[in-house]
């Protein structure tokens, strides 16, 4: 059983769309996605620098558009019937919603553009950030977070938890981390998936109410708890609430294992989720689709599993 996974914010790098836009068909499709989002994604995916594409309002539509470009070729010619399901990490859940048919590509781009703007605005209200914590005891870490007023934002599995909150508290965590834990500050604009994002939830709920929604055509897992969601409307509700609640990617990987996963394909901009799978789903073959040149290996993995 092949599971397609869609990465979240932080997976983008300067110029990563250049190999895709070398093909006219991809350039044309990206133009349509740019129009839906109201952002020049071609420029941001080719010439914008790291600081520019770190902006939440730019990064999120850019990542979802790249995933949609990948999915269109990956799942063409009936190959969507050859995959066991799809899931996304954080904003990648919007890519997954498009891949599963819950949202049209146009609706997905409008939704993610609104999400990016709302989260950027929420992040601007207070100076906050995020740090990755590697290793250590999870119970001890959570207790330390409570003491500092921090929150776990992403349970990524494989001994990695991303935490978020006030910058001074994150600095204290780094200086006084639990035994065996290493704290790495992340270059992000705010404390995503925490209480600091509640203003964004309210705005996104209004956007969701105006979106046409269908039930998923393939198995679709949610970040909320790793469960399968069969209702498109319920999944969109979860997308809204997920902005201020933790990403449980650890439980998603546990669900993939329970379902009998035999291969993982990560869509562009790929790499992060394949890395987590190598630790959390040891021995499961993976393909990271970073450029169109990686598509044949991904397609071969689907066809071998059919």
Active-site pick, 34, 44, 89, 193: 193
Q: In angstroms, rounded to a whole number, what is the distance separating the alpha carbons of residues 194 and 165?
A: 8
Active-site pick, 90, 131, 177, 244: 90
227 is annotated as an active-site residue: no
Residue 155 in contact with residue 280, Cβ under 8 Å?
Answer: no
Q: In angstroms, rounded to a whole number, what is the distance separating the alpha carbons of residues 210 and 188?
A: 29
Query: What one-character-per-residue DSSP string does the chain give?
Result: -EEEEE--TT---TTTTHHHHTSHHHHHHHHHHHHHHTS-HHHHHHT--HHHHHSHHHHHHHHHHHHHHHHHHHTTTTGGGG--EEEESTTHHHHHHHHTTSS-HHHHHHHHHHHHHHHHHHHTTS-EEEEEEEES-HHHHHHHHHHHT-EEEEEEETTEEEEEEEHHHHHHHHHTPPTTEEEEE---SS-TTSGGGHHHHHHHHHHHHTS-----SS-BB-TTTS-B---HHHHHHHHHHHTTS-EEHHHHHHHHHHHT--EEEE-SS-SHHHHHHHHHSTT--EEE--SGGGHHHHHHHHHHH-
231 is annotated as an active-site residue: no
Catalytic residues: 90, 193
């Amino acid at each position: 059983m092949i599971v397609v996974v869609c990465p979240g914010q932080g997976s983008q790098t300067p110029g990563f769309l250049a190999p895709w836009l070398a093909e006219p068909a991809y350039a044309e499709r990206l133009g349509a996605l740019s129009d839906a989002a109201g952002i020049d994604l071609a420029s941001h995916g080719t010439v914008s620098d790291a600081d520019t594409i770190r902006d939440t309002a730019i990064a999120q539509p850019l990542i979802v558009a790249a995933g949609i470009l990948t999915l269109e070729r990956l799942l063409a010619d009936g190959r969507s019937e050859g995959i066991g399901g799809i899931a996304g990490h954080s904003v990648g859940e919007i890519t997954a919603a498009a891949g599963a048919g819950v949202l049209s590509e146009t609706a997905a781009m409008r939704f993610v553009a609104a999400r990016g703007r709302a989260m950027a605005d929420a992040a601007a209200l207070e100076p906050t950030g995020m740090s990755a914590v590697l290793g250590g005891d999870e119970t001890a870490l959570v207790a330390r977070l409570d003491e500092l007023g921090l929150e776990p934002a992403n349970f990524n599995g494989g001994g990695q938890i991303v935490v978020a909150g006030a910058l001074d508290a994150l600095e204290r965590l780094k200086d006084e981390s639990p035994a065996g834990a290493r704290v790495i500050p992340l270059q992000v604009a705010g404390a995503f998936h925490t209480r600091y994002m509640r203003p964004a939830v309210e705005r996104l709920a209004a956007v969701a109410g105006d979106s046409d929604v269908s039930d998923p055509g393939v198995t679709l897992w949610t970040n909320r708890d790793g469960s399968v969601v069969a209702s498109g409307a319920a999944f969109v509700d979860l997308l809204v609430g997920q902005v201020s609640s933790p990403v449980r990617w650890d439980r998603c990987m546990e669900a993939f294992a329970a379902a009998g996963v035999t291969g993982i394909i990560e869509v562009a901009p790929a790499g992060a989720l394949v890395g987590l799978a190598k630790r959390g789903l040891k021995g499961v073959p993976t393909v990271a689709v970073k450029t169109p040149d990686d598509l044949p290996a991904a397609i071969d993995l689907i066809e071998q599993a059919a």
